[in-house]
Amino acid sequence: MEWFESWFDTPYYHLLYSNRDYTEAENFITKLTADLELPPNSKIIDLACGKGRHSVFLNKLGYDVLGLDLSRQSIEFDKQFENETLKFQVHDMRNPVEAEPKDAVFNLFTSFGYFDNESDDKNVFKSVYNALKPSGFFVLDYLNEDFVRQGIIPESTIKRGEIDFKIVKKIEGRHIIKDIQFEDKGKPFHYFEKVKLHSLETINAYASEFGFERIKVWGDYQLNEFNKESSPRCINLFKKK
């Protein structure tokens, strides 16, 4: 089993990241959909949707949303939010999407770069391309390699309730690795996250190979212009040719 298959399916993953700023995320999504001029009822895939908050918010904005995620537990949780224009399915982003073509695919908050094999990374772009209508948008919200390398904090402890998560971060080759250890009810747990430090050029090369054109790159969730040294994010906007 891959690290993301086991870690993302635990309640501890959601506990560790329970402080995520959803107001910032909703403001970002509002700005993003306005910038793309996506009309109401546009069909959007939220790829790697997790527990569905962003899918639900997109749906509230008037969009027809399909949330896809590898975690069965997350999708089971998400099913409570379903309606006529909001559906959720278990899906591996490397595989073809079994659905009618969409107007946009959003892959948000570093939900890419988990795979060791370059062919798996490329399969994501291939799958997204085939899931889109002509001129459809693909938004890939990713970390900025240079910013990550400058600002890495080697060790930290994050307290969530009664649990102290001990975090050790390091860069090995082309990966940033986050080692996560903690105890709960006297039992030790050990997980890790491993994400590739894809460069802007590599991401664009994958996209171009499968028929995308990069339209814009934003550097943060306020949609400011990307700066290689100072931008915390690398938010790519691609269009299907």
Task: Answer whether residue 112 shows pLDDT above 90.
Answer: yes
21 pLDDT band (50/70/90 cuts)?
A: confident
What does the block give as tokens for 136?
């459809």
Compute CA distances 63 → 31, 59, 99, 190, whole Å: 14, 5, 16, 39
3-144+199-240, which class in CATH? alpha beta
Give long-range contacts, CB 8 A cutoff, 24+ apart: 120-123. Answer: 120/94, 121/196, 121/198, 121/206, 122/206, 122/209, 122/210, 123/94, 123/95
Average pLDDT over residues 19-38: 92
The span from the CA of 193 to the CA of 130, in Å, is 29
Show me where the domains of the chain are located. Answer: 3-144+199-240, 147-194
Q: What is the pLDDT of residue 74?
A: 94
**Cα dihedral: 67, 181, 220, 44 (round 10):** 0
Q: What is the pLDDT of residue 230?
A: 96
Element (H, E) at 115: none
pLDDT in tens, 57-99: 999 999 999 999 999 999 999 999 999 999 999 999 999 999 9
- Strand 132-143, strand 155-160: pairing: unpaired
pLDDT in tens, 174-227: 999 999 999 999 999 999 999 999 999 999 999 999 999 999 999 999 999 999
Q: What is the pLDDT of residue 193?
A: 96
Task: Answer whether residue 56 shows pLDDT above 90.
Answer: yes
The span from the CA of 198 to the CA of 235, in Å, is 12
Q: Which pTM was predicted?
A: 0.94
Find the DSSP H helices in 72-221.
72-78, 118-131, 145-151, 200-209
1 pLDDT band (50/70/90 cuts)?
A: confident
Mean model confidence pLDDT for the chain: 95
